[in-house]
């Protein structure tokens, strides 16, 4: 990803916002520090609208991005000048870090582009994404080390008496936090972390007598004042919730347990406390998170991060700097081996949608479980908490069908559920690495309570209809796959050709298919599906055109329907 700083913009139609996000497909290599003149096609910020899905439009708003678009043409005006962050990034990617150069760039610079999609999936499955995304943990760790170093020197009598050690420790810790934040690009999570570190240091300097609750509340409000749109980001709620949980379970009780007991207790209670919040934010639950973080957090904090930062600072001395980065990369590789094993044993889980009343009860249950031992009826929190893990599912009445047409952009994906059966008609698009099947269709199906598919029907093999099928097939057991054309479908789908007038009944709902066998192309040969339930009729048409429509009428296939999926996305040539 390349960020451009907008110097001058002209538009015939509208005043352009200060920050825009554009994609340049098939464009040349762009280096940091270059100046370009770009012709871009812009549109208002927007995203896919699906229940319980990632809100891309809210994310754009949180980033203060006022428009999105694509680059039509561009001309380089000036070559690259010295860009220090890009220079450091290039040096990090060029060193031998045992294959983990991209991970070190993520830790040092906050640039996660060097991590593969498989790496991110492992981190998500184990609840350790926060380790490779510069946030409060990293900023706070560095500030804490600097503070402890000054405090240690003062305790040993090695700090200059002319300089009061406490103000000096707080000032140097905050300067170190700001420096790390600047190195990481000073993105919103980093700015939030710097504000929190500043408030903690101020509390330590002047307001320690207030206890820990007031500084926590002041930090919360300070972040909101500095970045009011941060409430649109899940990381804001998760980070403050985690800190609040630690305040609740340890306030007034430090010293009650050994360091190992405290660390273990913190991991499990944070997992319990964050469970309802993760569900409210539509984020997956990592079943292995407490165990993985128990080892991964100290490993990154003590073994990986210090040599990575020191090695980066010492890159002007290659023997020392590159040697430290080699050690840090090896430690990071061992971490991914461990996390990969954990993720394979216990992958992340996205429960079904939780009713509002069940979520409120589970939130109450989590709060009760976080209370000290000895509180009456504390164990009743477990059944309340489990309401969000195993929520009551709404069943479909006999003789009826529930239809959910997903917003997949340029493409199609429709989920149909009867009382005991599930069918997916088309699976959304895939364009390169952007797989709607994995990003939208699979999460939506899991949120709907789907655990397996009785039938996946792919109308035809165009990428905007069949692109996500492989991801769905990997995520769920699929009893049967039908397709309007087989030659271009992925072999692992093991699809069978859709036949004319194939008819079956599920739970009092009648389904039938039709395909134009003499179709000249894949669109016209789309496999159509009619659904009769409760006196209503639904017709799904894929990408058929006028000629296929007439062929269906001539064959006697009943095209009458109360509910119709407009053929070929409603194009002019698709239907008469």
Of the candidates 225, 130, 221, 138, the one whose C-alpha atom is nearest the C-alpha of residue 177 is 138
Most confident of 129-138, 262-271, 328-337: 328-337
pLDDT digits (tens, 9 = 90+) for 546-556: 888 888 888 88
> What is the pLDDT averaged over residues 390-412?
89
> Do 394 and 293 form a contact (C-beta atoms < 8 A)?
no
- Is 98 in a helix, a strand, or coil? coil
**Lowest mean pLDDT segment, chosen from 212-216, 248-252, 331-335, 505-509:** 248-252
> How many CB atoms within 10 Å of residue 357?
10
Q: Which pLDDT score is estimated for 35?
A: 83
Which sequence spans correspond to the domains of the chain? 20-81, 109-349, 356-389, 402-570
Domain 402-570 has CATH 3.60.15.10: yes
- Is 27 in a helix, a strand, or coil? coil
The secondary element (H helix, E strand) that includes residue 431 is: strand 430-431
Q: Which pLDDT score is estimated for 252?
A: 62
67-78 vs 35-43, strand pairing mode: antiparallel
Distance, in Å, from the CA atom of 140 to the CA atom of 176, rounded to the nearest integer, reads: 10
Distance, in Å, from the CA atom of 277 to the CA atom of 245, rounded to the nearest integer, reads: 12
Of the candidates 260, 338, 345, the one whose C-alpha atom is nearest the C-alpha of residue 299 is 338
Q: Which pLDDT score is estimated for 340?
A: 93
Strand partners, 435: 430
pLDDT band at 1 (very low <50, low <70, confident <90, very high): low
Q: Which pLDDT score is estimated for 8?
A: 67
Q: Which pLDDT score is estimated for 575?
A: 66
Q: What is the DSSP string of 471-519?
A: HHHHHS-BS-EEES--TTS-GGG--EE--TT-EEEETTEEEEEE--TT-
Q: Classify the C-alpha dihedral 247-253-257-259 as positive or negative.
A: positive
pLDDT digits (tens, 9 = 90+) for 78-102: 776 656 777 888 888 889 999 999 9
pLDDT digits (tens, 9 = 90+) for 196-232: 888 889 888 887 777 778 888 888 888 888 888 888 8
| pTM exceeding the 0.85 threshold for the entire prediction | no
């Amino acid at each position: 990803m390349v960020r451009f700083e907008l110097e001058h913009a002209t538009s015939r139609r509208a005043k352009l916002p200060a920050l825009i996000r554009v994609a340049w497909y098939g464009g040349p290599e762009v280096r940091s520090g270059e100046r370009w003149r770009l012709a871009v096609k812009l549109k208002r910020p927007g995203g896919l609208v699906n229940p319980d899905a990632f809100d891309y439009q809210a994310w754009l708003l949180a980033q203060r991005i006022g428009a999105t678009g694509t680059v039509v043409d561009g001309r380089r005006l000036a070559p690259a000048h010295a860009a220090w962050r890009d220079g450091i990034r290039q040096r990090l990617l060029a060193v031998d870090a045992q294959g983990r150069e991209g991970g070190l760039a993520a830790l040092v610079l906050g640039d996660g582009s060097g991590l593969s999609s498989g790496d991110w999936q492992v981190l998500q499955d184990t609840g350790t994404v926060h380790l490779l995304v510069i946030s409060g943990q990293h900023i706070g760790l560095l500030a804490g080390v600097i503070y402890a170093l000054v405090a240690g020197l003062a305790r040993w009598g090695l700090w200059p008496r002319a300089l009061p050690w406490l103000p000096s420790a707080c000032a140097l810790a905050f300067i170190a936090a700001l420096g790390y934040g600047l190195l990481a690009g000073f993105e919103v999570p980093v700015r939030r972390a710097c504000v929190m570190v500043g408030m903690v240091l101020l509390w330590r300097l002047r307001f320690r007598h207030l206890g820990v609750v007031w500084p926590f509340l002041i930090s919360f409000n300070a972040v909101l004042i500095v970045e009011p749109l941060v409430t649109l980001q899940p990381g804001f709620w998760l980070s403050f919730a985690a800190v609040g949980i630690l305040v609740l379970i340890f306030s007034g009780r430090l010293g009650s347990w050994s360091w190992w007991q405290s660390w273990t207790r913190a991991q499990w209670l944070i997992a319990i406390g964050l469970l309802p919040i993760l569900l409210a934010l539509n984020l997956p639950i990592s079943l292995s998170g407490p165990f993985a973080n128990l080892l991964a957090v100290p490993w990154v904090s003590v073994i990986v991060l210090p040599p990575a930062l020191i090695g980066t600072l010492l890159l002007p001395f290659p023997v020392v700097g590159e040697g430290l980065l080699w050690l840090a990369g090896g430690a990071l590789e061992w971490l991914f081996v461990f996390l990969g094993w954990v993720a394979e044993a216990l992958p992340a889980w996205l429960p079904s949608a939780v009713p509002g009343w069940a979520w409120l009860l589970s939130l109450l249950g989590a709060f009760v479980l976080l209370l000290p031992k000895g509180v009456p009826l504390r164990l009743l929190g477990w059944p309340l908490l489990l309401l969000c893990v195993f929520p009551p599912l709404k069943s479909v009445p006999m003789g009826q069908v529930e239809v959910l047409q997903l917003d997949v952009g340029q493409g199609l994906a429709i989920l149909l559920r009867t009382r005991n059966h599930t069918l997916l008609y088309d699976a959304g698009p895939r364009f390169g690495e952007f797989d709607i099947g994995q990003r939208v269709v699979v999460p939506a199906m899991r949120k709907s309570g789907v655990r397996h598919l009785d039938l996946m029907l792919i109308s035809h093999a165009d990428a905007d209809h069949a692109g996500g099928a492989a991801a769905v097939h990997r995520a769920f057991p699929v009893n049967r796959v039908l397709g309007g054309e087989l030659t271009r479908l992925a072999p692992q789908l093991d699809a069978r050709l859709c036949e004319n007038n194939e008819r079956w009944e599920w739970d009092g709902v009648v389904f039938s298919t039709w395909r134009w066998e003499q179709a000249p192309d894949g669109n016209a040969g789309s496999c159509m599906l009619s659904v009769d339930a409760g006196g209503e009729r639904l017709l799904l048409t894929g990408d058929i055109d006028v000629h296929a429509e007439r062929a269906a009428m001539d064959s006697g296939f009943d095209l009458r329907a109360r509910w119709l999926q407009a053929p070929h996305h409603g194009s002019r040539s698709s239907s008469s």
